[in-house]
Structure 1
Amino acid sequence: MPKASPPRQLPLQLSGQPALRREDFLAAPGNAAALALIDAFPDWPARVVCLVGPEGAGKSHLAAIFAERSGARLVEARALDRAGVPEAVETGALVLEDLEPGGFEEAALFHLLNLTREQNAYLLLTARLPPAQLPLATADLASRLRTVPVFEIAPADDALLAAVLVKLFADRQLTVDEATVQYLLLRAPRSVAGAKRVVEAIDAAALAAARPVTRALAAQVLKEHAELATNEDED
């Protein structure tokens, strides 16, 4: 009779909730201007400003800090319609997230910009591209967006990526040693978004095998998920 395989723990699909307080934000030279903007509220250069950066750069974290301080609502750009604009800004502040090409109603955004100005409200936009680069059919909207001050967040460097990896594991109640972090820095995607995907995969593997997070486990995950690795393991 064949020997039974040891039982595997099925991973629960519960993502770690990120810590989004001001003290949890990982400051770095590449995000210093954006962080200074949020810290300076309400002393802003304009009532409408925009945070621009790649996926996972920290835009949503900064937006959450701003929302906590200002009482702003958080609305996805694709969910905004013209009828909902007055309610969206009734608290005097709003975060409009993920302003992507073709992913929002131009009439609604134009109305929002007008109402923000009329009511002396504050509007924080987040996007991957500067608003002035969005392809728009509405000339007046394009003109308005060209005047919006942009605060760019640069891609993470090694020091920030290492800190991000530690934080992402900590958000999932996992500890990770320096050797594992350095191993991942050499082989994981060079972005915060890529780091999130790697940590998620390692967390799932650790749960399934009932193992702690180690360099060996990280190597196994990257080998099994080639799309997550940037370099082949030399071991």
Structure 2
Amino acid sequence: ARPEIIFHLAAQMDVRRSVADPAFDAQVNVVGFLNLIEAARKYGLKRVIFSSTGGAIYGEQDEFPCTEDHPKRPVSPYGVAKLATEAYLFFFKVEYNIDYLALRFGNVYGPRQDPHGEAGVISIFCGKILDGQPVTIYGDGTQTRDYVYVGDVVRAVIAASKSRASGIALNIGTGLETNVNDLYSTLASIADFPTKAEHAAARPGEQKRSVISPARAEKELGWRPEKKLAEGLEETYKYFKQQRDRPS
């Protein structure tokens, strides 16, 4: 294979695991990236579209929503690894003239989601609801995230591959923050599920609030999010229900 462009989406994606085992996270997310780009640059690589993080890279925010210029203060090894990879991409651009765009995703969700990692909370909730089991919310549930639908993210990635923009990072989110309590309430309403959520101790490495501005992505890529959260949650729940209802 002699790829001219790489869409780098692979990762150790679990923030909690990165806190528990920082060396493993770095081995996968930093060393794994270096293995990939070092191999590819020898065979004509011209451009990388990198899936970074629009939450963990900023840490606890000072402004809501935050722009790409916000200080980078990651509070988890996962966020540190994403920030380090962006710095490596700059090095490879300067040293080898390999263009790149770093797309800092919000919490991506949607049909076919793998129910693991922080962004998997929606698919985890869907599974619990379909099983008729109570949902556990870690912490008081007031922690917020910027939930962006997978179809919107795909459009952003394709737009990035066609763009001439290079050497910058772009937030790919909605600019809207939703707390976990409200997220669960919306899903429970969609599913007509009356059981209240249970609460457990907050988990280490999790931010309190996270929401990112997509304004620069609109300027550079002509991209903006289209899917409303309630619509996306309904489509996601219907997908998991259909999967559950299929004959085995």
TM-score by length of 1: 0.27
Question: Per residue, is there more helix in 1 or in 2?
Answer: 1
Which has the larger Rg? Answer: 1
